[in-house]
Amino acid sequence: MKINIEIEVTAQEARKFMGLPDVEGLQKDVVDKLREKTLDRIESFDAALFDPNKMMTSWMSLYPEWMEGVKRMVGSSLANPK
């Protein structure tokens, strides 16, 4: 036997029914703060001080195994040109 029940509710109604807290105000505050910080960073950006090497070093340090994979791929493509 198979029984299907369909319930149409809004996200807010479902949260209230399951007893979840209303975080709409908190979410709005967080998004506003992120927007403010992002705009501040954009306004204070100075291309003359931008160092792409520093940025790439920072990114690559997060996943050193990925960088090794890139090195192998580049090395193999240089060793076997088509």
Does residue 36 sit within a domain?
yes
Question: How many alpha carbons fall within 13 Å on the CB side of residue 68?
Answer: 4
- Cβ atoms 22, 15 nearer than 8 A: yes
Q: Looking at residues 42-64, what average pLDDT do you find?
A: 82
pLDDT, one tens digit per residue, over 4-38 is 999 999 988 999 999 999 888 999 999 999 999 99
Number of structural domains the chain divides into: 1
Does residue 66 sit within a domain?
yes
Does residue 3 sit within a domain?
no
- Whole domain around residue 38: which residue ranges? 11-79
Residue 71 predicted with pLDDT over 80? yes
Does residue 17 sit within a domain?
yes
Does residue 4 sit within a domain?
no
